[in-house]
Structure formats: structure tokens, C-alpha cells
């Protein structure tokens, strides 16, 4: 991960902006640079992943233009060879050095050509203005706001902009901003016509495209690690990676010290694929002590995101403190594509598809945000194979009738796709998975709820929650999170669209807690 900022005007001087930029120095602790453009500034904190020498430091410059980018450009080597043949020269091994040549060749059309997880800011010298863009899923973070004089500014995280602008807004994924307007350049989830592939063809394509998505994310000059929960998604990423790399990989799992559910499954997978496996344990006190820090780091008040971040943050903290790992592969985005416990209640195929579209479109405010912040605050980089653009586009195009759980097993397509490979033990491939915030141990969520119950009387809860007319807290736990959020991001609650909850309009999903534990079909998931 890296941290970027861009200022279109010099409303503030360098000394004034530096403290705001340094709020995210953990994203890029290796080197820092702030440069002046004729009209504003570009800022970069570097975490060296590709091209580890100082030559890979940004901003990159070309004929008066500059770029800062937090991202990974997959397949950059053939693009680099092509650009070299066209007369461009390169001084580093950094993938991001190709961005300005691409801009010079293709202009704003460059963004639809990128196979990447990225957020970037270009200074266009011809127009003396900033161009900004974000990847189609929003895996890399970007926010924007306007200063007191109405000039736009961009930053990797909301916390960089709090105090500089009145309203902080998430930069919409799959968009670029140029010359005063936002333009959508990519839409992965709007399907004009569904694929006519039959089930076996679909599963074969899912298998091949996921392997390709994992493969391209294993290219790093810095040491790789893998988050392994013991559930299907992270287990597949780890198993595929182990085979592609042809060597022992390093895996990490976390659970509560007294009732961890998934640790035993993660250990089973690690043993099966021959991984160098590390278990991290967390306690009730660690969870409570870390709560405020986690919410301040995340920039959200959403219950699900905060719960799921506790284990991920503490696991990544241990990795940062105890290893030389710099890049982590994770299993996010599979649930939104293939369905989860509550999507078993989808009334029909179109409802399932509509829900998948909504969830993938909004992921940047929830699970993707969680993974980015938990990993980057510990000076690590996240890579998300299930977010591969080709993979996402294909799965979204699959006839939703095939994705409905009519098989007696959720995510059947994904499981069946790898059934013949024997990459995983049968009981893992066909296991009903618990949600991550439950799988670390049911006691963690119970502890957080109990802590909130102790903090507010019923009368205090009713009085305090009414202060918030936007997404009003509806439990003491949600009030606790909102109050901490407002302490660090006052008046910025609209950065998050809503509570990440099951679709309450579906029968069986009108619940008051986001945990799958409250659904009638949870069954043996938490055992």
C-alpha cells in the first residue's frame, strides 16, 4: 500500500498540509515526498512492493506531467515492452512508471485499458489541472472534498481530509475525474445479456479465471503472505497459490483464545497444502482495548465492518510485528458474487442478481474498506484475487438461476469448479462457512455487545441515538460505534450508505443483527 494526496490549488502551504498527509504514513513508511505543481501539490508515502530501489519512488514525471498511484498494475511487463518499442524509457522496476506513458498515448482512455487495483492522481501540465481515477471495484481507497475556496482535493483516506474540507466523499469506483466532472469508465455489474454457458462450462471458466486471478497477484518483489480463515474462499486462494508458486507458502489465522471456530479448519488446510502456518490468538481485553483504534482507522460506523475488522486488524498487526511479510492475499468478494447465507432467501433469480450487483457496487464502503485499512495500517499491501476484473465480470454474467442455492449448498458453482482438483480436503471444500466475525469465536461479538450494554442505560440509549438522523443507531452496539466514529470523523457519517445487513424485504431476512447467526439457515456453520 501507499498513500497519495493531490491538491488542485495552493489554498494551504506545504507546512499546513503535511500533518494531514502524515495521518496515513503507515500506508507508506519507506519514503515520503511532497512536490509542488504550478497550481497545487502531489504527495506520496511509499510502501515498496515492485521495483524496491529508490528509482521506484513517486511522483513519476514525464514532459511536465506527474503521477502518484497507490496500486498494482497487473501484466505491466508486456505493456512496458510495448511502450519501450514506442520510444519511452524507464528508470525503475515499478509497475506504476508505465502510467504517464499510457496517459500520453491514450489520454483518458487509459483507464479502461488497465487490469489493476489502483487509485491515482495525475497532474496534467497542458491543462494545469488534476485528473484522478479509481479501479472498478474500489479495492484501492480514494476520497475527495473541496477546500474553503472550492478547489478539489484527493486523498487515500478520509482521515487525510477531515479538517481540510467540510464534506469528505468517497471517490466512486470505476470513475475518473477530469476537467471538472466525474465520468464512469467501467461497469462490471450491469449485465445486458447473460451467458448461455451450461453449468459445467461455467464451472470450468470460474476455475480457470480464478487461477489466473491468483497467478497475476503473486508477482511481487517483496515477501508474500496469505490470510487463511479455514473457509472456502481463503483456502482456495492459498491452495492455488501454493501450486502456482511451487513452494511452501506462509499462512496466518486468528481466533479468540477460548472458542475459536475456524482455527482448526485453517490448520487442516495448512497441513494439507504444506504451508508454514501461524496461529494468532486474541483475548476479550485485546478486542475491547483495540475497538476505538479500529474505528478510527476504518472510518466507518457499520456494525459488520467493525466486527469483522477486529480479528483481521489484530492478525495483521502480529504479521507486521513478527515477520518480514509485505504483501497479503485475501479471500474477500466471493460472498457478494456467489451468495451467502441470507441470499438463500432470495425470492427469485433476478432478486439474487440485483442483490449481487448492489453488494459488489457498494463493497468499497464495507469489506473492501475493511481489508484495506486493517492491512495498510500495518504497512502491508492487500491483494484480492476474487476481485480480478475478468473474474468478476464473468461471474456477474452467469445466469443467476445457476447461482441460486438450489443445490443444498451455498457457493455450489465455486465448490464444483474445484471438485476434481482435490486442492482441499473434501470436508473443507463442502463445509458451510461461518462469517469471519463469528468464526474467530462467537464470544467476540458477544463481548462487544455486552460491553455496549454496560455502557448505556436504556434511557441513555434512546436519548443519544436520536442525535443521529442519518442511519440512526438501532442497538446499543451500533450507538457505541457511531459515537466513536463521530469523535474522529465529525459530521461525515454519509460516507457510508447504510448498515450492511441482510435484505430486509426478503422473507426470513428481517433481522436486527447483521450476523448470519440470527438467520434460520445458519445451521452447522458455527461448529
| Residue 434 confidence (pLDDT) above 80 | no
| Residue 53 confidence (pLDDT) above 90 | no
What mean pLDDT do residues 6-17 have?
Answer: 97
pLDDT at 251: 98
Neighbours of 215 (CB within 10 A): 17
Measured between alpha carbons, how far is 1 from 113 in angstroms, rounded to an integer? Answer: 22
Query: What digits encode the pLDDT tens for the residues 154-168?
Result: 999 999 999 999 999
Give residue 379's pLDDT band: very low, low, confident or very high (50, 70, 90): very high
Residue 324 CA to chain centroid, in angstroms? Answer: 22
Q: What residues contact residue 21 under an 8 Å CB cut-off, 6+ apart?
A: 3, 5, 34, 43, 45, 155, 160
Measured between alpha carbons, how far is 497 from 9 in angstroms, rounded to an integer? Answer: 30
pLDDT at 143: 98
Angle at 522 between CA 517 and CA 526, to 5 degrees: 70
| Peptide bond preceding 59 in cis form (omega within 30 of 0) | yes
For residue 15, report the phi and psi dihedrals to the nearest 5 degrees. -65, -30
What mean pLDDT do residues 307-328 have?
Answer: 96
pLDDT at 524: 59
pLDDT at 109: 98
For residue 329, report the phi and psi dihedrals to the nearest 5 degrees. -90, 140
Average pLDDT over the chain reads: 95
Catalytic: which of 2, 69, 165, 238?
2
H or E element, residue 68? strand 65-73
- Angle, helices 284-298 vs 367-376, to 10°: value is 100
Query: Is the CB of residue 514 less than 8 Å from the CB of residue 304?
Result: yes
pLDDT at 520: 85
Measured between alpha carbons, how far is 109 from 137 in angstroms, rounded to an integer? Answer: 18
Query: Is the CB of residue 411 less than 8 Å from the CB of residue 338?
Result: yes
Radius of gyration of the chain (CA): 22
Measured between alpha carbons, how far is 104 from 90 in angstroms, rounded to an integer? Answer: 14
pLDDT at 437: 62
Please give the domain boundaries of the chain with CATH numbers for all domains. 3-184 (3.60.20.10), 199-526 (3.40.50.620)
Residue 96 annotated to the active site: no
For residue 115, report the phi and psi dihedrals to the nearest 5 degrees. -100, 95
pLDDT at 436: 63
Measured between alpha carbons, how far is 43 from 157 in angstroms, rounded to an integer? Answer: 13
Measured between alpha carbons, how far is 75 from 215 in angstroms, rounded to an integer? Answer: 11
Record the pTM.
0.96
Residue 431 burial by Cβ neighbours in a 10 Å radius (0-12, 13-18, 19+): buried
Closest C-alpha to 263, from 250, 276, 280, 249: 280
Residue with cell 442519518: 470
Residue 46 burial by Cβ neighbours in a 10 Å radius (0-12, 13-18, 19+): buried
Q: SS3 of 195, please?
A: coil
| Residue 306 confidence (pLDDT) above 80 | yes
Q: State which of 74-78, 135-139, 443-447 shows the largest mean pLDDT.
A: 135-139
Residue 17 CA to chain centroid, in angstroms? Answer: 26
What mean pLDDT do residues 87-115 have?
Answer: 97
Amino acid at each position: 500500500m501507499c498513500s497519495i494526496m493531490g491538491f488542485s490549488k495552493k489554498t494551504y502551504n506545504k507546512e499546513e498540509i503535511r500533518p494531514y498527509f502524515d495521518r496515513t504514513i503507515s500506508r507508506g513508511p519507506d519514503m515520503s515526498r511532497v512536490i509542488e505543481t504550478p497550481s497545487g501539490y502531489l504527495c506520496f508515502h511509499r510502501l515498496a512492493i515492485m521495483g524496491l530501489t529508490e528509482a521506484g519512488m513517486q511522483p513519476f514525471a514525464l514532459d511536465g506531467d506527474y503521477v502518484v498511484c497507490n496500486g498494482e498494475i497487473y501484466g505491466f511487463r508486456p505493456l512496458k515492452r510495448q511502450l519501450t518499442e514506442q520510444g519511452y524509457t524507464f528508470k525503475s522496476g515499478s509497475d506504476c512508471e508505465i502510467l504517464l506513458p499510457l496517459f500520453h498515448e491514450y489520454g483518458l482512455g487509459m483507464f479502461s485499458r488497465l487490469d489493476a487495483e489502483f487509485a491515482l492522481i495525475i497532474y496534467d501540465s497542458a491543462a494545469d489541472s488534476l485528473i484522478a481515477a479509481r479501479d472498478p471495484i474500489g479495492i484501492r481507497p480514494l476520497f475527495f472534498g473541496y477546500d474553503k475556496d472550492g478547489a478539489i482535493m484527493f486523498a487515500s483516506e478520509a482521515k487525510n481530509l477531515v479538517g481540510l474540507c467540510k464534506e469528505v466523499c468517497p471517490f466512486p469506483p470505476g470513475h475518473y475525474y477530469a476537467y471538472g466532472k466525474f465520468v464512469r469508465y467501467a461497469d462490471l455489474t450491469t449485465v445486458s445479456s447473460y451467458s448461455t454457458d451450461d453449468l459445467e462450462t461455467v464451472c470450468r471458466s470460474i476455475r480457470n479465471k480464478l487461477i489466473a486471478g491468483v497467478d497475476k497477484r503473486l508477482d511481487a518483489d517483496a515477501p508474500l503472505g496469505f490470510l487463511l480463515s479455514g473457509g472456502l474462499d481463503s483456502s482456495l486462494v492459498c491452495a492455488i497459490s501454493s501450486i502456482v508458486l511451487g513452494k511452501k507458502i506462509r499462512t496466518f489465522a486468528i481466533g479468540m483464545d477460548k472458542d475459536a471456530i475456524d482455527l482448526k479448519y485453517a490448520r487442516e488446510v495448512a497441513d494439507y497444502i504444506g504451508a508454514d502456518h501461524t496461529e494468532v490468538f486474541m483475548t476479550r481485553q485485546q478486542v475491547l482495548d483495540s475497538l476505538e483504534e479500529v474505528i478510527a482507522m476504518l472510518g466507518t460506523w457499520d456494525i459488520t465492518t467493525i466486527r469483522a475488522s477486529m480479528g483481521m486488524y489484530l492478525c495483521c498487526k502480529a504479521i507486521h510485528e513478527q515477520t518480514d511479510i509485505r504483501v497479503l492475499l485475501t479471500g474477500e468478494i466471493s460472498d457478494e458474487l456467489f451468495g451467502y447465507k441470507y441470499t438463500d432467501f432470495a425470492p427469485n433469480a433476478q432478486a439474487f442478481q440485483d442483490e449481487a450487483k448492489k453488494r459488489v457496487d457498494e463493497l468499497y464502503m464495507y469489506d473492501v474498506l475493511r481489508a484495506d485499512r486493517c492491512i495498510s495500517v500495518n504497512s502491508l499491501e492487500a491483494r484480492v484475487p476474487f476481485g480480478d476484473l475478468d473474474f468478476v465480470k464473468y461471474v456477474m454474467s452467469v445466469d443467476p438461476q445457476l447461482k441460486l442455492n438450489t443445490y443444498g449448498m451455498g457457493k455450489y458453482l465455486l465448490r464444483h469448479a474445484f471438485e476434481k482438483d482435490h486442492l482441499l480436503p473434501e470436508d473443507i471444500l463442502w463445509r458451510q462457512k461461518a462469517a469471519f466475525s463469528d468464526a474467530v469465536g462467537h464470544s467476540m461479538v458477544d463481548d462487544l455487545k455486552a460491553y455496549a450494554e454496560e455502557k448505556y442505560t436504556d434511557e441513555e440509549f434512546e436519548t443519544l441515538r436520536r442525535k443521529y438522523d442519518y442511519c440512526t443507531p438501532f442497538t446499543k452496539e451500533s450507538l457505541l460505534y457511531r459515537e466513536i466514529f463521530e469523535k474522529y470523523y465529525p459530521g461525515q457519517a454519509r460516507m457510508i450508505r447504510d448498515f450492511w445487513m441482510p435484505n430486509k424485504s426478503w422473507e426470513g431476512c428481517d433481522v436486527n443483527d447483521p450476523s448470519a447467526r440470527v438467520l434460520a439457515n445458519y445451521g452447522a456453520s458455527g461448529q
